[in-house]
Amino acid sequence: MEKEAFRLDNQLCFRLYTASRLLTQAYHPLLSARGLTYPQYLVLLVLWEKDAQPVNDIAKRLVLETNTVTPLLKRMEADGIVTRTKGTDDARQMIVTLTRKGKQLQKELHDVPATVGRAVLCDSVTPETVPDLFRMLDGMIEQLKSE
């Protein structure tokens, strides 16, 4: 067994985990001021792209299981951000729609992407390198989803 393979500094997963955790922390003060969590913000991003979506589609877009997304949606509904209604074609399907408050949050949070974007810029991550970073991460995500 190669000892170097088990060094923390040699683990890609640790770097990705740490970057993800710290990036989520960067969102926290911006979102908590509006009573939102980062996962709720991700749901909002999906619905701001296209409103009135089935829970399954939201979960798929977020690469999460439906049973992970459902409690988020219930909390968001209780907070008046979304409504959940039975589908007209399939009563088992729940359609999630933004409320007026949910739509207003997009205006209130308009500066969040740029603020967090500026926070991650450094010598190796620049506006010019971001598209390459996205391509690499997208490739990794697709590979891991197919495993």
pLDDT digits (tens, 9 = 90+) for 18-70: 999 999 999 999 999 999 999 999 999 999 999 999 999 999 999 999 999 99
Distance CA 82, CA 99 (A): 5
pLDDT at 135: 97
Residue 111, pLDDT above cutoff 70? yes
pTM score of the predicted model: 0.92
Q: What is the percent of the chain with per-residue pLDDT over 70, rounded to a whole number?
A: 99
List domains and CATH numbers for the chain: 3-114 (1.10.10.10)
Confidence class for position 1, pLDDT limits 50, 70, 90: low
Q: 74: how many CB neighbours lie within 10 A of its CB?
A: 12
- Alpha-carbon gap, residue 91 to 87, rounded angstroms: 5
Contact criterion met (CB below 8 Å) for 80 and 99: yes
pLDDT band at 120 (very low <50, low <70, confident <90, very high): very high
Q: Is residue 126 classed exposed, middle or buried when 0-12, 13-18 and 19+ CB atoms within 10 A define those classes?
A: exposed
pLDDT of residue 46: 98
Q: What is the mean pLDDT of residues 117-124?
A: 92
| pLDDT for 14 beyond 70 | yes
Distance between CA atoms of residues 76 and 47, nearest Å: 12
SS3 of residue 146 by DSSP: helix
